[in-house]
Amino acid sequence: MKSTEEKVTAIPQHILDEIVAFEAEIGRLRRKEIPEEKFKRFRLQHGIYGQRQKDTFMVRVKIPQGVLNPEQLKLLSDIGDRFSNRIAHATARQDIQFHFVKLENVPAIMRLLAEEGLTTREACGNTVRNVTACYLSGICPDELFDVSPYARLTTNYLLRNPVCQSLPRKFKISFSGCLKDCSLAPINDIGAVAVKKGFNGHTQSGFRIYIAGGLGPHPRIAQLLEEFVPVDDLIPLSEAILRVFDQYGERRNRNRARMKFLLEKIGFEELRKRIMEEFKIVKASKRWAFTLPPEDTPDDYLEAGARKEQRLVPFEYTETLGNGDPYFHRWRATNVIPQKETGYCVAHIRLVLGDITTDQLRRLGDITEKYSHGLIRVTHQQNLLLRWVRNEDLYDLYKDLKKGDLALAGVGRMIDIQSCPGAETCNLGLTSSRQLAYALSKELTARDDAEIEGVKIKVSGCPNSCGHHHIADIGFHGVAKKIEGRLVPHYQLHLGGGVGNGRAVIGDSDIKLPARNIPKAVSELVSVYQREQLEGEQFYQFIERVGRDYIHCILDKYISIPSFAESPGHYSDWGSNAEFIVKLGAGECAGGVVDMIEDLLLAGSREAARATLLFEAGEHDESVKWIERAIISISRGMLVPFGIDTEVESEIIREFQDKIIDKCIVSDRVEPLFENYGKPEIRSRISEFISLVNILAGEAHEAYRRLDANFKFRKREKEET
């Protein structure tokens, strides 16, 4: 095992510099040298999210494809002990989060994570979020091929990539290995599903690519972009999609900034046309040669010699284990499935609402090393997964999990309820979604059929759908209604949603239920389903057959509540005895001035990069256009602190020379760009001007970093000669 000194030495210098820069920005914030709004955008890009509680933050750790090793598990438990509330939270995007962290402790956390190859970078903000992959990839009997290496390749290519550092809004990518689509392609901006195609007598691997899906207040199912994309084209096509979103996505109205709204605005055919045109340029501009990261297959287990030495018993053997422990067989029935490789199985670990204590994490480090060949995965259902468990070891694994209270049965069943943090910590949460989920779980656990497989329940504290309520059999999102002049916590009911096996449906209904009535209402709804379902009928099929009016009749008695005098408890939220109030904090977006400056400067950087791309692709006339666009965007951004906002290009050029170049805020090296703007000299000296516009972009960003708390630029320091 490496010493701490060796681990620190192994951290790449650019990551160390990044952490030092974050620490420096905290110092500048404390000294009031930079605006709070500017720091907010900066920290979000580094995965640090504000909480409802003053002076505390949520730290989101990116876990690519959810894969963790024992050392990382133990590190996460140490971080939770030292800096958080001793609880880690698994997310629906296979991340791990810590809450109630003090800002001054964040750099120390970043360093510790970097020592074990983890980062918070781009886990929040207008960037490519954690790239997810099916948690069964590599071992699933139904998969066409293991998508994990391609997901890791995408992660590695896009992390810190300039092409996606300041998108119009967040961007999500997923990979699935078969049509079951465990990674939920229809609700991602890019959803890649493995396919194979016959070609000249050979079978070629590729992906079916879906685009522009997403949930939130206006959910949209992704549309099919390409039926088959060869694996070699995956990265250039993904970059082309990102570039089109970056260029044309909405930047003024944050509520319309996701890619799904771009599709809605210009139409699918136009969007596809722009993507494929960009794809040609991206392909022509670079040499695309990638080496795939290795699969998660433990090669020494699969070597012929090692296999011969092992007794590879079939999965049926596990039925004979633990005969004196009936709960083991219940756990096995709901949490364990066979792998496609003979002799091995997969064991799910159910986490209540995605939470796990640091002591449990530490124990899992040892268990993973002992039973799962040193790897564990976070799933999209906010649970954990152990792979490569030998069938004959299953009962011993169960006993070790049970000692740590980690052997809860019911994974993927009705009692395995998914929830976002809600009003407990989130600034946008209207209701205490987690507390409702606890109450639901308590109500349903008492039922004999608590582990129904075909009923999935998901809860969100607001319409933003962080709890994925839109794709639940029974989903809820928090709202507030006035009764007798008092606010009462309610939830909008969503019925019959779901993604997978070729089905992608957004659930909905027109029913709003008071929070306190929901556990009983859900229990009765499930009872009606159990009593009246046809043979083999899934819950969503039952909803479609009986109709929403019938469901409304069943739930009608739960829509009203007694008067406040009769039952004041109905007027409080779950987990609280106080009268309900809606108290929203500030959303995690930056202030208007900061948004305007950063968006324009980043637009200029993107346009300068695109001019370079077009030049390399031989498109010189187009390159000149993008050089000029970059000059204007950067100039407009730099002029915002001076109160100048005009689209008249001649004024922009003149004001920039007067207020920026002549005041030494940027160097006079870039002056030829402004002296020759709109003139044919740019076309004849295109290589020189591409270099200059990239210098301008760099100096503009450096000047912005020197912007003080009063939005005044500091003069550029004289360069040494």
Q: What is the pLDDT of residues 305-317, one digit of tens each?
A: 444 445 689 899 8
Which of the given ranges, 132-141, 570-579, 611-620, 678-687, has the highest pLDDT on average? 132-141
22-36, 59-73, 91-105 — which is least confidently predicted?
22-36
Residue 374 has pLDDT above 50, yes or no: yes
Q: What percent of the chain has pLDDT over 70?
A: 93
Residue 517 has pLDDT above 70, yes or no: yes
Query: Residue 432, class by beta-carbon neighbours within 10 Å (0-12 exposed, 13-18 middle, 19+ buried)?
Result: buried
pLDDT in tens, 39-56: 988 999 999 999 988 899
The pLDDT of residue 7 is 58
pLDDT in tens, 667-721: 889 989 998 998 888 888 899 999 999 999 999 988 888 777 766 787 766 543 3
Which among 158, 95, 154 has a CA at the least distance from the CA of 127? 158
Band of residue 217 on the pLDDT scale cut at 50, 70, 90: confident
Residue 648 has pLDDT above 80, yes or no: yes
Domain 138-285 has CATH 1.10.1740.10: no
Q: What is the mean pLDDT of the chain?
A: 90
CB 397 within 8 A of CB 347: yes
Q: For 169-184, what is the mean pLDDT?
A: 95
CB atoms within 10 A of CB 34: 21
DSSP characters over 8-48: HHHS-HHHHHHHHHHHHHHHHHHTT-S-HHHHHHHHHHTTE
* Helical spans, DSSP H, in 105-186: 106-115, 148-158
The pLDDT of residue 378 is 98
Q: CATH 1.20.120 in the chain, residues? A: 592-705
CA angle (448, 450, 451) in 5-degree steps: 115
373: phi > 0 → left, psi -120 to 50 → alpha, else beta; which? left
Which among 602, 646, 610, 654 has a CA at the least distance from the CA of 628? 610
The pLDDT of residue 38 is 84
The pLDDT of residue 195 is 96
Q: For 501-509, what is the mean pLDDT?
A: 92
Band of residue 509 on the pLDDT scale cut at 50, 70, 90: confident
DSSP characters over 294-326: PPS--HHHHSHHHHHHS----GGGGGGS-TT-H
Residue 572 has pLDDT above 80, yes or no: yes
Band of residue 663 on the pLDDT scale cut at 50, 70, 90: confident
pLDDT in tens, 150-163: 999 999 999 999 99
Band of residue 300 on the pLDDT scale cut at 50, 70, 90: very low
State residue 601 phi and psi, 5-degree precision: -65, -40
94-103, 471-480, 708-717 — which is least confidently predicted?
708-717
The pLDDT of residue 5 is 57
| Non-local CB neighbours of 541 within 8 Å, separated by 6+ positions | none
What is the layout of strands, in order, in the sheet containing 57-61? 48-50, 57-61, 96-101, 87-90, 355-357
SS3 label, residue 348: strand
Q: 3-state SS of 383-418? A: CEEEEEEEHHHHHHHHHHHHHCCCCCCCCCCCCCCE
Q: CATH 3.90.480.20 in the chain, residues? A: 4-115, 300-403
Q: Which residue has the tokens 């290496």?
A: 149
Q: What percent of the chain has pLDDT over 90?
A: 68
CB 426 within 8 A of CB 420: yes
Q: For 490-514, what is the mean pLDDT?
A: 93
Q: Which residues of 217-243 are buried (b: 16+ CB within 10 A; e: fewer)?
A: eebbbbbebbeebebebbbbbbbbbbb
Q: For 488-493, what is the mean pLDDT?
A: 93
Residue 9 has pLDDT above 70, yes or no: no
Which among 101, 163, 94 has a CA at the least distance from the CA of 129? 94
DSSP characters over 83-98: HSSSEEEE-TTS-EEE
The pLDDT of residue 166 is 85
Band of residue 560 on the pLDDT scale cut at 50, 70, 90: very high
The pLDDT of residue 253 is 75
Which among 59, 73, 71 has a CA at the least distance from the CA of 358? 73
d(CA 106, CA 101): 7
CATH of domain 592-705: 1.20.120
Looking at domain 4-115, its CATH class is alpha beta
Q: Helix count (H) and strand count (E) of the chain?
A: 24, 22
The pLDDT of residue 8 is 58
Residue 110 has pLDDT above 70, yes or no: yes
DSSP characters over 421-460: -GGGT-TT--S-HHHHHHHHHHHHHTSTTTT-TT--EEEE
d(CA 696, CA 657): 12
Residue 299 has pLDDT above 60, yes or no: no
User: Half-sphere exposure of 215 toward its Cβ, with a 13 Å CA cutoff?
Assistant: 27
Residue 276 has pLDDT above 60, yes or no: yes
Q: For 464-475, what is the mean pLDDT?
A: 94
Reported pTM = 0.85
| Non-local CB neighbours of 243 within 8 Å, separated by 6+ positions | 163, 278, 282, 606, 610
Helix (H) / strand (E) element for 239: namely helix 234-248
Q: For 73-79, what is the mean pLDDT?
A: 98
The pLDDT of residue 641 is 82
CB atoms within 10 A of CB 139: 23
The pLDDT of residue 721 is 34
Nearest 10 degrees: Cα torsion 244, 250, 251, 254: -130
- Return the amino acid letter for 43: R
- Return the amino acid letter for 326: P
DSSP characters over 484-542: TTEEEEEEEEEES-EEETTEEE----S-EEEGGGHHHHHHHHHHHHHHHPPTT--HHHH
The pLDDT of residue 143 is 94
Architecture of domain 418-571: 2-Layer Sandwich (3.30)
Is the pLDDT higher at 254 or at 59? 59
Q: Which residue has the tokens 């083991």?
A: 328
Which among 184, 181, 213 has a CA at the least distance from the CA of 194? 181
CATH of domain 300-403: 3.90.480.20
